[in-house]
Amino acid sequence: MKLEQTFSVKAPEAMVWEALIDVARVAPCLPGASISGREDDGSYKGEFKVKLGPTTAAYNGVLKMTSVDAEAQVATMDARGTDKRGQGGATASIVSSVHASGTAGETRVDIVTDFAITGRLARFGRGGMVQDVANRLLREFAANLEAQLQADGAAGAAAAEPGTVAPTAAAADDAPEGAAAVLPPTGTVAPPKPPAPAKPVSGLALLFGALLDRLRRLFKRKT
């Protein structure tokens, strides 16, 4: 099955490209996904969790960038995953291309995904539902990526600012009595907090959301 999708991000083209080819950085932007380690061959181990009713399905996966064309800004990533309980899995080839958007300050990303799924996730493929679910996931991914890039840009700008990082009154008040305040060195910025562990993406929420998207499109056609 093949999907062709497009999304735009309010961030510079070069910044979006660098993020998309960094597997460890970009994978957690997908709801339910997380990276657990890197192999010697450059591939990454990860996990994807989806909540299906009262149970949570977890998939172990491997992601690897197989082709990176920096000049054309086109990257290909192969992915495969298996259900931890042995109830199916998925394989995919994902080709992402980065382009300048017609809107100032925005970058367009085109994604072509060729994939196959088996087991419990295969139910999403019935009646074209997988297209709607994938579109909703991509919207959340784009929003998370944009938020991450904006945070990175703000952190970079703060790090470039000369001067001393002074303690706040609130920080001093919160310190234990008698304890010495530990402050970052002059002219430095504290490192960003690590990302929170990925929460399982709700399969039912995705399905209901996809159904609503279909109903909206149907209503628009009728009106």
175 Cβ neighbours under 8 A, 6+ residues apart? 181
182 assigned to some structural domain: no
177 assigned to some structural domain: no
Q: Going residue by residue through the chain (223 aa), what tens digit of pLDDT does each one get?
A: 888 999 999 999 999 999 999 999 999 898 888 999 999 999 999 998 877 666 677 889 999 999 999 999 999 999 999 988 888 888 999 999 999 988 888 999 999 999 888 887 677 666 566 777 778 888 889 999 999 998 887 776 676 666 545 444 444 455 445 444 444 444 444 444 444 445 555 444 444 444 445 445 555 565 5
12 assigned to some structural domain: yes
Prediction pTM value: 0.67
DSSP letters, 136-181, are HHHHHHHHHHHHHHHHHHHHHHHHHS-S--PPPHHHHHHSPTTPPP
Q: Please say whether the beta carbons of 79 and 62 come within 8 A.
A: yes
165 assigned to some structural domain: no
Question: In the prediction, which pLDDT does 117 show?
Answer: 82
DSSP strand pairing (2-9 vs 33-38):
unpaired
Domain count within the chain: 1
Q: Which residues constitute the domain of residue 113?
A: 2-158+195-218
47 assigned to some structural domain: yes
**What is the CATH number for 41?**
3.30.530.20
Amino acid at 194: P
180 assigned to some structural domain: no
170 assigned to some structural domain: no
Q: What's the length of the chain?
A: 223
Amino acid at 88: G
147 assigned to some structural domain: yes
Q: Please say whether the beta carbons of 67 and 75 come within 8 A.
A: yes
